[in-house]
Each structure stands twice: as C-alpha cells, then as structure tokens.
Structure 1
Amino acid sequence: MTDQALAAQTKGLYPEIEPYDYGYMPAGGKHQIYYEQSGNPQGIPVVVVHGGPGGGTSPNLRCYFNPDAYRIILFDQRGCGKSRPHASQDMSLEDNTTWHLVADMEALREKLGIDTWVVFGGSWGSTLSLAYAIRHTDRVRALILRGIFLVRKAELDWFYQGGAGQIFPDVWERFVAPIPEAERNDMMAAYIKRLNGDDRNEQMRCALAWAGWEGDTLSIEGPSENPTKFAEPDFAVAFARIESWYFKNGGFFETDNWLLENVHKIRHIPAWIVQGRYDVVTPMASAWDLHKAWPEARFNLVKKAGHSSSDPGILDGLVRAADEAVAVLTA
C-alpha cells in the first residue's frame, strides 16, 4: 500500500463540539474541580484523563469520540486548567496527590449519576487511569491508554537526567541552562528548589524551561515552530510545579513498580494501548512491560510516532480504539 493510500485511510478527529453541561465540583479543602459534558447524554460515558500532571484539558479532547455514541466527560485535575485554585497563583500543593485525584474521579462519577464508564488517558493520564481502575475496578467498563507512564525512577531518570537529551541535545541545552553545573547531577531537585522559591523571576524562567523541554520533545517531528501552550507563563508555572511535585514523590505510589504489581486486578477489563515506537517522553519500554503483564489488552505499536496524541498514527489509533470500544461494549 502506498503512503498516499495509507494516509487516506487514517482516521482523524470527530468534528468540534461544545459542552451541553459544565460546572465546578467541591473536592474538599480549597479545591474545586472543573468538569464538562458533551456528546450524547444517553451515550456510553467516557471520562478523559489529561496528562501532566498539571496539563489540563483542551477542547480537542472531546473530538476523539463519536459524539452520537459517547457521553464525553472532561475534567481538570487539581491545580490546573479551570480548576481552582490554580497552581500558578497558589503557592501550596496541599491535598494534591494521585490518591486525591482518584477520589475526585470517583466523586465526579457519583455526582453525574454514572454507574460505569470508559476511562481514556494518555501519558500521566494513563498513570492516573490505571490507578483509578485498580482502586475502582467495578466502575470501569473499558480502558483506552496512550503513551504509557508508570512513574518509575528509571523513566524519570531517562527524561530528566540526560537519556532523552542524547536524542534532543539542542533542546536539552535549553533545559539545563537555568541550573548551575554543580547542581546538574540532580536536575529535578535543582528545579524543585527554584520552582518553589521566593524569586518570581527565577521561578518563571525555570517553569518555562521545564515546560519547554517536555513540549519540544512530544512529537516525532521535534520542536514546533509555532507557539504552544508550554510557552504560556501561567500554564508553565502550574505545569512545572505540579509535575515536579508528583515526580519528586514517585507518583505517591507505595513501590516503584506499584502499577504493574497490581495490574492483575484489571486484566479482565477490555483495554486498548496505543504507543509510539519513538516516544521519547514515555519510552516504549514501559508500554512493553505493561503489554507483557496484560496480554489481553489490545496493543497498538505505532511505528512512525512519538509521544504526542496529535502525531497522525497515535491520533488514528486512539480514534479507532474509541470506535472499537463502542462495538465491544454494545455487542
């Protein structure tokens, strides 16, 4: 098959749609979680779990799903997006852990009167989706996961201590620039100190460098020539502060391999895994480990793709997975 014929068969996003419902859910303490619903109110409920942590949702996340078949629920995790307070202003990360987020998802399900739902997440969203499914197995009808991230030390060392820098040395130079050479043996600790310090200018410089490093390594195409959300100051500060907080704490899991150690609890759930062969942010090794631990899950290795959900092969795989889930769940 020619490349042109293959491109013609590639599925794109569904048309843009607007929410029919949105609001804020009190989550205890000072946190309020923004959520929205779109698509078919009588359709299969699907909750979209965004990346980061701290990435927030975007309107295009509604478009991976057939709006006639799905009731599409988006929400912003604590401290980011439209949820309040925003981590770019509030200097506290109080009550912001993986298990708080899992509890928020379960509270949102109950608030919306949903019995079971499909859970769809990429990158950190795959992490949180797996954690939620392990804790609330009977509430998950199916899982659709992309860019598998298990928050293991080896993954964090790869991305923040020079491994990925071997592939993106030009971008890596910009990432290490704000940190004195004497502190570069522990880049995460050096960044955390500055992201949570009193010097607002230094905080902003480091936040933009942290966010830029991830934003510039997402796609197989490399850095974008067009401005992205990673260059927006408020987004960058929230994103960098929340990510580094979670990563410093190993995702708040009991062990380094907690997700794989508990995957046996969810192996009966229909699942789709979409992974780019050349994903630099969450390398394929973790997706492969999950695939071996969960052979029942449909594993789609996209040969010409990186981490970004907008890489054509990843986008195609996600849309097809969502369409296939409808067929499986309504058979």
Structure 2
Amino acid sequence: MSRNLFPKISTYKEQWLEVDNIHSLYIEQSGNPDGIPVLYLHGGPGGGSSENHRRYFDPDKYRIIIFDQRGCGKSTPSPSIKQNTTEELIKDIEAIRSHLKIDKWLIAGGSWGTTLAMLYGIAFPQTVLGFILRGVFLATQTEYDWLYKADGAAKFFPEYYQEFLMPLAEKDKQEPLAGYQKIFACDNEVAKIAASKAWYLWELRLSTIEHQHIGSAQIEDPHQAHCMAQLSHYYFYHQSFIAEDFIINHIDNIKDIPAIIIHGRYDMVCQLNNAYRLTNAWQNASLQILPQAGHSGFERQTIDALCKATEVMANFLRENKK
C-alpha cells in the first residue's frame, strides 16, 4: 500500500479561523464530510501543512482536516513568534474542534506534530479517539542536544554540521541555540536570511536517507524555510515552553487511548530510543519500527506504513464506536 493507492484529494473547504487579535489559522477539509474526523498536525515547529498529508487517509473513510499552526504557512501573520507558545497551539487545536463542531476526533502527526498531538491529548483526553504518530519527539533536553550540539547528529554529518555553524561567531559555536538567538534577535535582515537557510538545510539533510546531496538549491520555498527556522529555533530555545519530560510524566492522562507509533530505524532527527521509551510507558500504544526509513514522512516505507496505520485505525474505530 502507498499513498498512490488513493487519488489526489482536492479540498472541499478552505477557511481562516481568527483565534486572537493577531493570528488567523488556515484550515482545510477534504474527504468524506461524514467520515471519521482526523486532524493531521504538521512538523516543525513552523513546517506548515502539505497537500500530501491528506493522502495518508482514505477519503471515503475519513473527514480529513489539516491546518497551518499559528505563525507559519498560510496562517497569518507568517512567520510570527508573537503570542506563540505551546499552550496557545493547544488552545488553537481545541478552538478548531469547537468551530467545526466535532465531538471526538483522531489525532495524527509527524515529528513536532507528535509532540503537539500528545500535549493536546494530555490537556483534552476526552476529545481524542486515538493517535497515529510518526517520528516521535518528546521535547527533552537530550533531544535538543542531539540535534544541535557537536556530540549528537553532528558526528554522523560533520561536514553538514560545519555548514550549520557557519552563520555563528566562533565564540557561539559551543551553544548553537544561543548563538542563533543572537542572530534572530538582531536587526540585520541579511544575517537572518542566511541563518534561516543554514538552519533549515541542516534539518533537511538529517531528515531523509532516500535523497542525497541536498544543498541550498534544493530549498524550493524560501518562505517555508524562514518559518521553519524562526519558529523551531524560537520553540527549542525556550524548551518548547514545557517542563522537562512533561509528556512521559503525564502519560497517564492518555494511557487508555489507542496509539499507533511509527518510527524509522535510521531517523537522525528524532532518535528511535525516545519512541521506544514512550511505548514502554504507554500501555495502549504499539510501536512499528521501519527498517529502511529515516525521519521524513514522505519516504516510501513511511508512506506505506502510515497508509496501513490509517486503515487499521479506521477499522478499529468502526468496531469500537464510542
């Protein structure tokens, strides 16, 4: 099974939802209006939604909802870190559910989207039918260090890591998050653009084992790169605005909700041991390790696994209607 099993899905409704005096969220729906409601949460923070996120779900069985989180994509303003915290993102999700008059829904997501999915579930467990999570990120200090310090993923990609450090002053290279903070907080727009490209390129290069020789020429959407760099740095510099190990420490809130967790064995962005640790703590979650996949949600093995997981979950929810 692959995403090509399902036809390319056109949206049947697009809208913007105003959630405060600054932010309006871009929301789109497709598939079956009477199907199982599912919300897909994109990665990043700041990654934005993709039309291909719809294609994990059979449009005959699912009412598919995707949106751009505040401050990125087609949501306005974009990019923006004003009034932008994890707590506000969780409130935005609940505002969407209320606006769309949905009682309970399936929550799916990838990477940062898994973090946000679980945090939303912890806050509003009564609204969640189940989870499908790809590339688990628990937002802990060890994960930030793995991504951005010299003793982590940099050991596997030393030449790419040197390019990631290039925008930084020599004295800031030991603490890249703090170094990038100085650039993103300054008034030098040229420096910000260069830093955004370097930040985004580092993550692109870590994300997939299927495509090699990724360079700056492969950055097709400068706006997405700017959003991704600005927001992901902002969130991770502030430890995602949650306490250390918050998800594991509050897993009892969602322990009875079924979850399918999918993780590539060669995921260099989100390490597999975190998904393994999460599954051991979550009594109603199952983990599928993909033997030939990295982090990206658009690698072939990952696409197949996600499509199968959405079929399995649809059948389960139909058989166990709540």
- Ranges in structure 2 where 5+ consecutive residues have no aligned partner: none
C-alpha displacement of 1:181: 2.1
Displacement, 1:174? 1.2
State whether residues 46 and 70 of structure 1, in contact with CA within 8 Å, keep that contact through their aligned partners in structure 2.
Answer: yes
Query: Please, which of 110, 134, 155 is the counterpart of residue 98 of structure 2?
Result: 110
Matched, 1:292 2:280: yes
Task: Give the corresponding residue for 1:100.
Answer: 88
| CA distance in 1 between partners of 2:43 and 2:232 (Å) | 10
- Give the aligned length: 317
Matched, 1:251 2:243: no
Contact 2:197/2:216, CA 8 A, preserved across alignment: no
**Could you say which residue in structure 2 is the equivalent of 1:3?**
none
- Structure 1 CA distance for aligned equivalents of residues 31 and 220 of structure 2: 31
Deviation at 1:12, TM superposition (A): 3.2
Residue aligned with 1:54, SS? coil
In the TM superposition, 1:1-331 aligns within 5 A as 10-13=1-4, 14-87=6-79, 93-162=81-150, 163-223=152-212, 225=214, 230=219, 232-253=221-242, 255-331=243-319
Cα distance in 1 for partners of 2:139, 2:218 equals 23
Counterpart of 1:5 in structure 2 is none
The offset of 1:299, in angstroms, is: 0.9
Aligned-partner Cα distance in 2 for 1:208–1:284: 27
Please tell me the root mean square deviation across aligned C-alpha atoms, in Å: 1.5
Aligned AA (1:122)? G
User: Do the aligned residues in 2 keep the contact of 1:211 with 1:231 (CA within 8 Å)?
Assistant: no
Which range moved further: 234-243 or 152-161?
234-243
- Secondary structure at the residue paired with 2:174? helix
TM-score, normalised with respect to structure 2: 0.95
Residues of 1 paired with 2:218 and 2:58: CA distance?
26
1:229: how far off? 7.2
Give 1:296 shift: 2.3
Using the aligned pairs only, state the percent identity: 38
Q: Per-residue displacement from partner, 1:10-34 (whole Å, max 9, x unpaired)? A: 4334221111011100111210001
Contact 2:41 2:114 in 1 (8 A): yes
Q: Give the C-alpha shift of residue 230 in structure 1.
A: 4.2
Of residues 229-238 and 50-59 in structure 1, the stretch that sits farther from structure 2 once superposed is 229-238
- Cα distance in 2 for residues equivalent to 1:223 and 1:216: 8
- Alignment check: 8 A CA contact 1:212 1:231 kept: no
Alpha-carbon shift at residue 211 of structure 1 (Å)? 0.4
Structure 1: distance between partners of 2:218 and 2:24: 23
Which moves more between the two structures, 220-229 or 194-203? 220-229
Deviation at 1:201, TM superposition (A): 0.5
* 1:20 alignment partner AA: Y
Identify the range of structure 1 (72-81 vs 169-178) with the bigger mean alpha-carbon deviation. Answer: 169-178
Paired residue type of 1:219: T
- Is contact 1:47–1:119 with CA below 8 Å preserved after alignment? yes
